[in-house]
């Protein structure tokens, strides 16, 4: 066995993670944004406690040539180890039966890693999703993903700052929730708290922001990262 055996302390990264790391070892950020493949993804969780909570569903959609490809998607409900911590699943509209009959995360995590492949990862507040995803890959595959990520919430912050002007003193509070940003920008609305629907919503927001940034002269991934690093 090449990956982590949970019954031992022996760790060796799964061959897919080894290849993933090798691919991104000399990653080039200077290509046109349209030349990259992206995967917009979302996780639904039993809660937000990073020590105790778990993934209960994974959803993702591919973006090629800056277009959403609804023929290339991923969605999986996951059975948590602790069914007692599933009170929040009412929000996600997942029934106890769906969770009880779903596979455990270790049985689907490799499928998800293979789906992501060498695409760049897009998420809304992506750090949270990546924490739980990388915890899973570390536990069950012996390592973490090396794919660069783009945070649509961070990009939205950068866009708002550009709109107001860099030296604006306007401190009017704005919501950066995915649903609120989609409403503000007039985007199609999808069902919230559903991993796949939120992944598609994130993809729509990402492409809308990319269009706005490209109109302002941002053409490469490096340009995009700079735009996304603006702070209030």
Instruction: Give residue-wise pLDDT tens across range 171-210.
Output: 555 899 999 999 999 999 988 889 999 999 999 999 999 9
d(CA 154, CA 157): 5
Query: Residue 92 has what pLDDT?
Result: 64
User: What is the average per-residue pLDDT within 2-29?
Assistant: 77
Q: How far is CA 122 from CA 37, 88, 117, in A?
A: 10, 24, 13
Q: Which CATH number is correct for 36-228, 1.10.10.10, 3.30.420.10, 3.20.20.100, 3.40.50.300? A: 3.30.420.10
Q: What's the mean per-residue pLDDT of the chain? A: 87
Cβ atoms 48, 55 nearer than 8 A: no
Strands 38-45 and 55-64: antiparallel
Q: Which residue has the higher pLDDT, 140 or 100?
A: 140
What pLDDT is attached to residue 91?
63
User: Residue 164: pLDDT band by 50, 70, 90 thresholds?
Assistant: confident
Q: Which residues lie closer than 8 Å to 1 by C-beta, 6 or more apart?
A: none
User: Helix crossing, 126-141 with 15-23: angle to 10°?
Assistant: 130
Q: Alpha helices, DSSP H only, in the chain?
A: 15-23, 89-92, 96-100, 109-116, 126-141, 152-164, 178-184, 195-215, 221-228
Question: pLDDT band for position 7 (50/70/90)?
Answer: very low
Both tokens assigned to 31: 């290509």
The separation between the first and the last C-alpha atoms of the chain, rounded to the nearest angstrom, is: 48
* CB atoms inside a 10 Å sphere around CB 160: 17
Q: Using 50, 70 and 90 to split pLDDT, how confident is the model at 90?
A: low
Q: Are strands 149-151 and 120-123 parallel, antiparallel or unpaired?
A: parallel
Quick check: 57 and 94 in contact, CB under 8 A?
A: yes
Q: Where are the domains of the chain?
A: 36-228
> Against a cut of 0.85, is the pTM above it?
yes
């Amino acid at each position: 066995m090449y990956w982590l055996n949970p019954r031992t302390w022996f760790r060796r990264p799964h061959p897919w993670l080894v290849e993933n790391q090798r691919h991104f070892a000399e990653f080039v950020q200077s290509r046109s944004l349209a030349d990259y493949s992206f995967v917009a993804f979302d996780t639904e969780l039993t809660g937000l406690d990073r020590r105790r909570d778990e993934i209960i569903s994974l959803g993702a959609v591919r973006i090629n040539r800056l277009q959403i490809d609804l023929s290339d998607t991923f969605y999986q409900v996951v059975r948590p180890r602790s069914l007692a911590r599933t009170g929040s699943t009412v929000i996600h509209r997942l029934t106890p039966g769906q969770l009880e009959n779903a596979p455990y995360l270790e049985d689907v995590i490799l499928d998800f890693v293979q789906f992501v492949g060498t695409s760049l990862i897009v998420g809304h507040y992506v750090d949270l999703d990546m924490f739980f995803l990388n915890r899973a890959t570390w536990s069950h595959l012996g390592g973490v993903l090396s794919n660069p990520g783009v945070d649509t919430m961070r990009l939205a912050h950068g866009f708002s700052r550009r709109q107001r002007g860099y030296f604006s003193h306007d401190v009017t509070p704005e919501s950066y929730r995915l649903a609120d940003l989609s409403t503000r920008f007039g985007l199609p609305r999808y069902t919230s708290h559903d991993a796949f629907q939120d992944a598609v919503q994130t993809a729509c927001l990402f492409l809308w922001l990319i269009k706005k940034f490209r109109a302002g002269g941002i053409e490469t991934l490096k340009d995009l990262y700079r735009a996304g690093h603006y702070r209030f």
